Amino acid sequence: MRVWIGIDDTDSRKGMCTTYLALILIDRLKEVGEVVGFPRLIRLNPTIPYKTRGNGAVSFLAEIDDLDKAVEIAEEVVRKYAELDDPNTNPGVVFVDEAKVSLLREFARRAITDVLSIEDAIDVLEKLRIEHLKFKNGRGLIGALASVGAVLEDFVYELIAYRLPERIGKPREFDKESFYELDFLFYPTIFDTVDWCNDVVMAVPGTPCPVLFGLRGEDPDLLKKALSIIKTEPFDRFQIFQTNHATDMHIICDEEIKNFRSYRVVGRLIEKPYEIVGGHIFFKIKTNSGNLKCAAFEPTKQFRNIIRALIPGDLVEVYGSVKNETLNLEKIRILELEKQFLLLNPICPICGKRMESSGKGQGFRCRNCKTKYFEKIKVEVPRKIETGYYEVPPCARRHLSKPLIRMNVSGRHIFR
């Protein structure tokens, strides 16, 4: 029989990675069958409060002779490798008959864009009679089901290389230059490998997990080819996943704006952006459903220069996740720029020099020509930004955010 197996929430802040555990499971399942096609790495709603790391779940399609044995193997693997001692690690594994997968579409859509409870997952499992393994409170069942049900209309591939077991936890050894070389050669088919401007290698994580690096791209063959370019410590193995990274799958366009969801929404600036200590910038827009506070936090680096240059009256479309009634910007599309004026002293019509003030409330005068004028004049000054799309730099990009380089739109301003 053909079964989709989904697995989630096996890692903790201290270690493991659900993708790695899934690969151990895939290896072990060779006893009872084989995996068909690429395993999938599906990122769920990135704003969910109890997840501190990427909130990614894994699923794969397997041709299996003995389902009971497969369930037994999965239980063994999770017991042995998941971070079960961590109170926030609550694994779930599901085994879904291929024929039932389409019934999970809506559940998956909600797990990526909305907030679901463990009860929601249990309901679906019972209603559809889906074989599953629940560990502790079983929160991972949400992601496990969603990773199976997600329909990837848009997707990319992620090649993940894993460290040798004895090196996990030690600093990662890699040649930074070689990752820049890779980017130079293969961008944009392989993208978000490095951030040139901020000098960050994004492909290499800083967490204590088994991942050595991850390469993101449109073409699995090219990802494999790229392995010959980068220089790193020896790695144990690598695997290519199909994923909803870089697709904006988390973004919705609802009228009503709620916390813990991600939106694309149009609005007009009603106040000048202001900065607080730490370099975080905020502004408010008026949308069809009320005012919305937007933020460009310090880690978004040079993107903040675009935000600083906005003025009241500008019409924008913002993209990002809402938490604390504030939309955390991932991208912005500037639709209309308000004209910007400076108020200056008038020019003398006779000699062409700028007039001087005659004293408070007394207007202006030219001392030489004795000309007078009562008001300051408005002078239009050019804006520093133009209409079109702007995005955060690669180093500030979320897994699910679609980079402009992948968007078929005009007026892209790309930070590379």
Pairing of strands 211-217, 190-191: antiparallel
Please check whether residue 7 is in contact with residue 91, taking contact to mean a CB–CB distance below 8 angstroms. yes
- In terms of CB distance, is 259 or 368 closer to Zn ion? 368
C-alpha dist (Å) from residue 4 to 30, 34, 90, 348: 15, 12, 20, 80
Q: At its nearest, how many Å lie between Zn ion and the CB of residue 343?
A: 20
How far is 286 from 271, CA to CA, in rounded Å?
10
Greatest CA separation found in the chain?
Answer: 101
Residue numbers at the binding site for Zn ion (CB under 5 A): 348, 350-351, 366, 368-369
- In terms of CB distance, is 197 or 351 closer to Zn ion? 351
- In terms of CB distance, is 323 or 372 closer to Zn ion? 372
- In terms of CB distance, is 201 or 355 closer to Zn ion? 355
- In terms of CB distance, is 74 or 348 closer to Zn ion? 348
Q: At its nearest, how many Å lie between Zn ion and the CB of residue 375?
A: 17
How far is 20 from 24, CA to CA, in rounded Å?
6
Q: At its nearest, how many Å lie between Zn ion and the CB of residue 377?
A: 15
How far is 319 from 263, CA to CA, in rounded Å?
6
- In terms of CB distance, is 313 or 349 closer to Zn ion? 349
Q: At its nearest, how many Å lie between Zn ion and the CB of residue 321?
A: 58
Q: At its nearest, how many Å lie between Zn ion and the CB of residue 355?
A: 7
Distance between alpha carbon 268 and the CA centroid of its chain, in Å? Answer: 24
Is the backbone peptide bond immediately before 234 cis, with ω within 30 degrees of 0? Answer: no
Angle at 62 (CA atoms; ends 57, 66), nearest 5 degrees: 120
Q: At its nearest, how many Å lie between Zn ion and the CB of residue 363?
A: 14
Give residue for tokens 């079960």: 84
DSSP classification of residue 313: T
- In terms of CB distance, is 305 or 371 closer to Zn ion? 371
Give residue for tokens 């002293």: 345
- In terms of CB distance, is 101 or 366 closer to Zn ion? 366
Q: At its nearest, how many Å lie between Zn ion and the CB of residue 368?
A: 5
CB atoms within 10 A of CB 11: 29
Helix intervals (H) in 133-271: 140-149, 176-186, 220-226
> At 384, which amino acid appears?
K
DSSP classification of residue 23: H
Q: At its nearest, how many Å lie between Zn ion and the CB of residue 345?
A: 12
Does residue 245 sit in helix, strand or coil? Answer: coil
